[in-house]
Amino acid sequence: MAKAAAKKINNEDKVLEIITKTLDEGKAEDVVVIDLKGKTSIANQMVVASGTSQRHVASLAQKVQENLKAEGFKSVAEGEEKADWVLIDAYDVIVHIFKPEVREFYNLEKMWQSVANIRDK
């Protein structure tokens, strides 16, 4: 049982690493990782990032999904058509990629700051 838990943790860390590295390489702005462990059942980690335009948001989301798939991890996404806000669900890690004005409007970091540890990546 402990071995399965360790494998899950390792997979989660690997998924988070792939996501943050891809966002960094794609020049995403203001990347923030929010630790949700023990705070909610939706995920253990949340990544929030901004793209400079709809095209940039869509490109970042596509590359994150491609890189996860290349490493054998599944994900599903919503919002790619409009690309103001793309949500990628990589199971233990949730990714939100916004245009800056949409991110400011929804302000997810503020909503989660009272229950989670937030760190800049």
16 SS3 class: helix
Cβ atoms 117, 69 nearer than 8 A: no
pTM of the model: 0.86
Span 37-91, pLDDT tens digits: 888 888 999 999 999 999 999 999 999 999 999 999 999 999 999 999 999 999 8
Span 64-74, pLDDT tens digits: 999 999 999 99
Domain boundaries, the chain: 2-120
CATH match of 2-120 with 3.30.460.10: yes
Q: Which two tokens stand for residue 116?
A: 């989670």
1-10 contacts at long range (C-beta below 8 A, 24 or more positions apart) = 8/92
